[in-house]
Structure 1
């Protein structure tokens, strides 16, 4: 059975969308459809149930999904075993936000590719708040994420940097900015200040703890997925946001927002790699973990060092 076809199937099973899978795999939609059709012909049963609005796994598809993951893992293990002169080869599935991909991750991958050129990195991007669950469910081998407040015992976390969680407002003159500036000589009126916050994840949990400790009832204007989306909305003058300083400083909109201080500062975040502890026994993941630790030898690296970019 063609391992490339198995990769296509696993991608469609993850996205439940032929177009998104085609984009991720750098294939045409018709090529993705043909690969799935060939697999269904080999299996003798439909693997996906489709209609005009949705795609979902059939009962046979759910069983085949487990087979496909095992088969690819075994094939990659065999590639590593037969590799010339012990050279590592195979694939690592990695999940991260767009910000993490060009700040934290770029120097790690550059060093890793230099040392292990035969290893392929399959990258998926999205809201970092989904990273831990994707690792725990087996969708990805490694995620770049904020350290969860309550880590499952089977999860290993490698801290890379610390980043303060900060409030920020629009840089342009607008009603939201005026309300923040008016309060510089007194307390902010959180009941009228529109707040844009994450809809889930560690940042939301920390913010919920903060407002409880401060005994305030803020006006929540919007709850959105991803810190990058919060920066974008604040830059449009829609409200005040919270996000890690790393995200604010590395955003292309950093000149359109401005950080401001409050009496009780928000906590700092530990950002790093998360993986299942048992998977770190794999030579591939073990090598990536080691390279990441060498790239960021301590968790107190400054944000400035990251936001200068990795252009070399």
Structure 2
């Protein structure tokens, strides 16, 4: 039994049709049929029942199919990992990111570049728990920084920090004079919020619901920078992560704490547990974690 035989067998099962499978594999139907017959002879048991128009798996065929899927997937992963080590070495890293980490991640990368100056970084937007999981499992990203709590057993999840979600107001807004706001203060204001599927949106709507208040949504946005632009033009108010608002942003808007236990969120570092990662990438994981462990100790 070899890998090619397993690939042929899996293709037949996925199509449940020899001619379609042969076409997909770019071989003749007789060659495919002979390969499956040879596999059955090696195993010593029929794998498929062919006495009707439709193919059916025997018990042995079902077992082989389930195991073959795992074997072929592991081979695919191994090829990716070997390619990464042999072809790319430690020269590239892809990180799934969210907009709110723009102030601290570049500082970590700057320090890291002193140790690995030739490393090329690919920073890609990854939002939503399903996209996070798919990007990691398909090896499109090495690690992801997210506010989504991923609890699947094949992921390593490190909590980096907790932060407040704070109100963002125009400089001349009447509420800007208050030291601290409540949800009751802002519930009647025109509101700027992220689109469906964003964790921050869910957190905000949950806070309003817990307080028994409605929210007047006027703008639905994909990026925080758009929310800030709308706030500056006095078109509404928003609630954003406090770390996103660090830096020169504060000179153009007013940031106010909201008295609500629900307007907080955690940010996580997520990567695959069993994926081989080069030493250079492991070092980046360590430096990201250390960035926040130092501040909280």
1:258 aligned partner: 254
Larger gyration radius, structure 1 or structure 2: 2
2:94 aligned partner: 93
2:207 aligned with 1:210: yes
What CA distance in whole angstroms lies between the structure 2 residues aligned with 1:273 and 1:168? 27
Whether contact under 8 Å (2:181, 2:259) holds in the other structure is no
Q: How does 1:98-109 map to 2 (within 5 A)?
A: 98-101=99-102, 103-109=103-109
Match of 2:273 among 272, 277, 288: 277
What CA distance in whole angstroms lies between the structure 1 residues aligned with 2:128 and 2:239? 14
Tell me: CA distance 1:223–1:185, structure 2 relative to 1, closer, same or farther (3 Å): closer
Give me the TM-score of the superposition, normalised by structure 1: 0.58
Tell me: CA distance 1:185–1:116, structure 2 relative to 1, closer, same or farther (3 Å): closer
What CA distance in whole angstroms lies between the structure 1 residues aligned with 2:291 and 2:177? 40
1:75 aligned partner: 83
Q: How does 1:1-312 map to 2 (within 5 A)?
A: 73-79=81-87, 89-101=90-102, 103-124=103-124, 126=125, 129=128, 132-133=132-133, 134-146=135-147, 148-149=148-149, 151-171=151-171, 173=172, 177-178=173-174, 188=184, 192-199=188-195, 200-250=197-247, 252-279=248-275, 281-298=277-294, 300=296
1:92, distance to aligned residue in structure 2 (A): 1.2
1:164, distance to aligned residue in structure 2 (A): 1.0
1:56 aligned partner: none
Whether contact under 8 Å (2:137, 2:272) holds in the other structure is yes
What CA distance in whole angstroms lies between the structure 2 residues aligned with 1:186 and 1:122? 40
Whether contact under 8 Å (2:183, 2:260) holds in the other structure is no
Deviations 1:257-293 (A, max 9, x none): 2123444354322224222222365434322212222
1:186, distance to aligned residue in structure 2 (A): 9.4
What CA distance in whole angstroms lies between the structure 1 residues aligned with 2:162 and 2:294? 10
The structure 1 segments of at least 4 consecutive aligned residues displaced by more than 6 Å after TM superposition are 67-70, 179-182, 184-187
What CA distance in whole angstroms lies between the structure 2 residues aligned with 1:279 and 1:189? 48
What CA distance in whole angstroms lies between the structure 1 residues aligned with 2:87 and 2:90? 6
What CA distance in whole angstroms lies between the structure 1 residues aligned with 2:182 and 2:280? 55
Instruction: Describe the SS at the equivalent of 1:279.
Output: coil
What CA distance in whole angstroms lies between the structure 1 residues aligned with 2:84 and 2:252? 46
What CA distance in whole angstroms lies between the structure 1 residues aligned with 2:150 and 2:96? 20
What CA distance in whole angstroms lies between the structure 2 residues aligned with 1:202 and 1:299? 25
Q: Which runs of 5+ in 2 are unaligned?
A: 1-74
What CA distance in whole angstroms lies between the structure 2 residues aligned with 1:155 and 1:97? 18
Report the count of equivalent residues: 221
Give me the TM-score of the superposition, normalised by structure 2: 0.61
Taking only aligned residues, the RMSD between alpha carbons, in angstroms, comes to: 3.6
What CA distance in whole angstroms lies between the structure 2 residues aligned with 1:116 and 1:137? 25
What CA distance in whole angstroms lies between the structure 2 residues aligned with 1:253 and 1:152? 36
